[in-house]
Structure 1
Amino acid sequence: MADLSSNAPANQFRIAVKKQKVWLASALILLVTALLAPDQATESLGFVAKSLTQTGPYLLLSIGIAAWAVATGADNLIARAFTGSPALMIFLAALAGGLSPFCSCGVIPLIAALLTMGVPLSAVMAFWLASPVMDPSMFFLTSGVLGFEFAIAKTLAAIGLGMAGGFIVLALAGTHVLHDALRDGVGNGGCGAAKIRSPKPVVWRFWEQSERVEKFGKEAVKTTLFLAQWLTLAFLLESLMLAYVPAETITSILGGTGIGPIAIATVVGVPAYLNGYAALPLISGLMEQGMASGAGLAFLVAGGVTSLPAAIAVWALVKPRVFALYIGISLGGAFLIGLAYQGWTLL
């Protein structure tokens, strides 16, 4: 029998590399830049440091909110969104999706629980569509990078997209598209089901319980490391984009007030969207070079909803035709949201 222990160092190395892949990507980009253009590498480092400093207050607020949500158990409030009439459930689910602190991966067991417990697909779709676009931490970071007005617009876009998707699904209820929507073998929701079946009370004064204080600390460290690595990479890429991508190119493709730039941004957002936090500085840089604000919002909405973690959450639980409906609503909604925001900014 093979000695598995001999592979332990190699396995540990692979795990370490996987955990640090974002930092390694930043280091590799900076190394290549230093070899090819030493002056630009220095400028990029300064740009990253300055950008992180400027967004520091928003980062601290975002980290605090994320840690607070875990320590208090505020995510248990989500269960209250899925009671009442179908229309009320859609509204509350979209609102909860746009304001809840769930990440795309963390929402998977919760969604599984909702579907297998018989919660209408219309309400689940509303939550699904809104959740990846905005959360409290994202709101404050968006305010810091793109401005408070843009953050409000993105929040309204998340809630509006969720509601639109929910009512579209409600209108299609009973049709072939939504018949037998779940994949075979979808379980009982795993650990996420407990939050729906028997939600626990929120402990607002979490600092009075040592285990919750420990949760707060662990989540704060986890969120800090997560945001630091992605924002460092994003600001580094932004510095290179500002240095080497001609502003007139961006303006010609994604600038202006027509529907073309918004349509392009919607489609490009699907493959180009790396991460919700990393996308903010990139869009900021593009907008500084002439990208239309409506195109920027369309990119963030389309990319957020169709990002790999969010899309996997849907694909894993529903039939392909329902997944196709999800993608269609996502892209169509992002395009219309971009048009609406562009029109509003021109008033």
Structure 2
Amino acid sequence: MSRLSVVKDRIAGYNSHPRGRNSPCCNPFRVDASILSEFLWSPTYLLYYAADWCRDELPGTYTGEVGIQFFELTAELWFWVIAGAACSALASHLLPRARLDRVLRKHRTGAVFGATILGLVSPLCTFAAIPVAARVLQSGVIAPPVMAFLFASPLMNPALFTYTYGTLGIEMATARTLTAVSIGLVAGFGTQLLQRYGHLASTILPQPDRYPVVAGGSGAALAQPAWSELPRRFTKDLAFISKWFTIGILIAALSAALLSPEFVRTVLGAGSRWSVPAAVALGVPLYACGGGTLPIVEIMIQMGMTPGAALAFFIAGPATKFHTVGTLGAVFGRRLLFWYLAVMILGALLWGNVYPFPDDMPLRRSSFF
């Protein structure tokens, strides 16, 4: 039975549900199951129909194979794109910005733990986290909590957890969360140790003349947004992540059509001693957006990439983006940039080699459908 037939059967099943379209129940305050089912299944039906068209009309061609992979991946992931954008918009409004500011300014050792957790629940990406960290540091506070927040924030957030769960399953989503916590703590306490011996004390402060956002340095950066802005934020996040997911799905479809599984297993598979370093190196050109890279990694795992190599890619990718490296170097100087890259890359190599996931266990595609 094709996936298109499965979707047809599920739509028919919802429409025959006791509360579905054929139900005599007429409670106007109860959501009709048929309406919900059509909302959820109609896009999937159309996408699988397009995939079947490519399979029937373009058999044995690269164009047909790319089309099949593209439409099937989109059918499985579109719901998670919307769910992740909703999580990001809600997190941006629910994040206690005043508490974030207080935690980053605390001098107690426990502030490192609090800053790490806030980095995970914050929807701020690297480019948004850098001005926040720079503004707080410029006011003269100690660096460890700020560094814990700065290192953990790009590795995990509510939207990224949703995308990872929907694409690769709860195991990878949990692993990414644990690695983000560990790297944030290492960054915070490591910075504390380095400052104690005078290695970072003179270079940790931002340079406002080289980064205009820091020079503005007011409390407005942490202002709590109004709830009336929630729809606009959701629309903005959805448009942003949809663009990168589309690019990622297209690259994944091209990879599935043009790369052989033997090549992927040779470079990134369990039999390669260089699979984790190779995955770290791939993070430089391929990692553009946390959500957009997930379809690529999903296809690579199905073709033989080890989950450990995938985890290493997810850790090293945010650290080696050219814009991230350039911005961190401009704001905080080369010494902190080297510290940032060292923690991220060593963390990627370590976790990629010890990630406790059987190499021969097939990846479960966690589609909502």
Q: TM-score range by the shorter chain?
A: 0.7 to 0.9
**Cα separation, partners in 2 of 1:74 and 1:41, compared to 1, 3 Å:** farther
What does residue 262 of structure 1 align with? 276
What does residue 341 of structure 2 align with? 327
Per-residue CA deviations over 1:227-283 (Å, capped at 9, x if unaligned) read: 111111111111111111111111111111675311221233233322211211111
Tell me how far apart the structure 1 counterparts of residues 312 and 121 of structure 2 sit (CA, whole Å): 19
SS at match of 1:106: helix
The structure, 1 or 2, with the larger RCO (C-alpha pairs under 8 Å, 6+ apart) is 1
Counterpart residue type for residue 107 of structure 1: A
What does residue 65 of structure 1 align with? 87
Residue among 112, 119, 127 paired with 2:149 = 127
Asked whether the equivalents of residues 109 and 190 of structure 1 are also in contact (C-alpha less than 8 Å), the reply is no
Asked whether the equivalents of residues 320 and 341 of structure 2 are also in contact (C-alpha less than 8 Å), the reply is yes
Asked whether the equivalents of residues 254 and 291 of structure 1 are also in contact (C-alpha less than 8 Å), the reply is yes
Asked whether the equivalents of residues 283 and 296 of structure 1 are also in contact (C-alpha less than 8 Å), the reply is yes
Tell me how far apart the structure 2 counterparts of residues 136 and 345 of structure 1 sit (CA, whole Å): 26
Counterpart residue type for residue 190 of structure 2: I
SS at match of 1:276: coil
Structure 1 residue 194 corresponds to structure 2 residue 208: no
Residue among 227, 233, 248 paired with 1:212 = 227
Unaligned runs of 5+ in 2: 1-58, 362-369
Per-residue CA deviations over 1:195-244 (Å, capped at 9, x if unaligned) read: 68xx66x68xxxxxxx633x112111111111111111111111111111
Q: CA deviation at 1:73?
A: 6.0
Structure 1 residue 287 corresponds to structure 2 residue 287: no
What does residue 16 of structure 1 align with? none
Tell me how far apart the structure 2 counterparts of residues 212 and 184 of structure 1 sit (CA, whole Å): 34
Asked whether the equivalents of residues 270 and 303 of structure 1 are also in contact (C-alpha less than 8 Å), the reply is yes
Q: CA deviation at 1:320?
A: 1.0
Per-residue CA deviations over 1:33-63 (Å, capped at 9, x if unaligned) read: xxxx994334433432332221233222211
SS at match of 1:45: helix
Asked whether the equivalents of residues 148 and 187 of structure 2 are also in contact (C-alpha less than 8 Å), the reply is yes
SS at match of 2:291: helix
What does residue 139 of structure 2 align with? 117
What does residue 237 of structure 1 align with? 251
Asked whether the equivalents of residues 138 and 206 of structure 2 are also in contact (C-alpha less than 8 Å), the reply is no
The structure with more helix, counted as a fraction of residues: 1
SS at match of 1:79: helix
Tell me how far apart the structure 1 counterparts of residues 108 and 272 of structure 2 sit (CA, whole Å): 37
Q: CA deviation at 1:184?
A: 4.1
RMSD between aligned residues: 2.7
What does residue 42 of structure 2 align with? none
Residue among 300, 303, 311 paired with 2:314 = 300
Asked whether the equivalents of residues 114 and 189 of structure 1 are also in contact (C-alpha less than 8 Å), the reply is no
What does residue 10 of structure 2 align with? none
Unaligned runs of 5+ in 1: 1-36, 204-210
Asked whether the equivalents of residues 75 and 101 of structure 1 are also in contact (C-alpha less than 8 Å), the reply is no
Using structure 2 for the length normalisation, give the TM-score: 0.73
Structure 1 residue 340 corresponds to structure 2 residue 354: yes
Q: CA deviation at 1:167?
A: 1.3
Q: CA deviation at 1:88?
A: 1.1
Q: CA deviation at 1:85?
A: 4.2
SS at match of 1:105: helix
Using structure 1 for the length normalisation, give the TM-score: 0.77
Q: CA deviation at 1:183?
A: 4.8
Counterpart residue type for residue 294 of structure 1: G
Per-residue CA deviations over 1:272-319 (Å, capped at 9, x if unaligned) read: 322211211111111111111111000110011232343344222212
Matches within 5 A, 1:213-228: 213=228, 215-228=229-242
What does residue 105 of structure 1 align with? 127
What does residue 78 of structure 1 align with? 100
Asked whether the equivalents of residues 89 and 123 of structure 1 are also in contact (C-alpha less than 8 Å), the reply is yes
Q: CA deviation at 1:100?
A: 0.9
What does residue 12 of structure 2 align with? none
Residue among 168, 171, 184 paired with 2:190 = 168
- Equivalenced residues, count: 299
Identity of aligned residues (%): 26
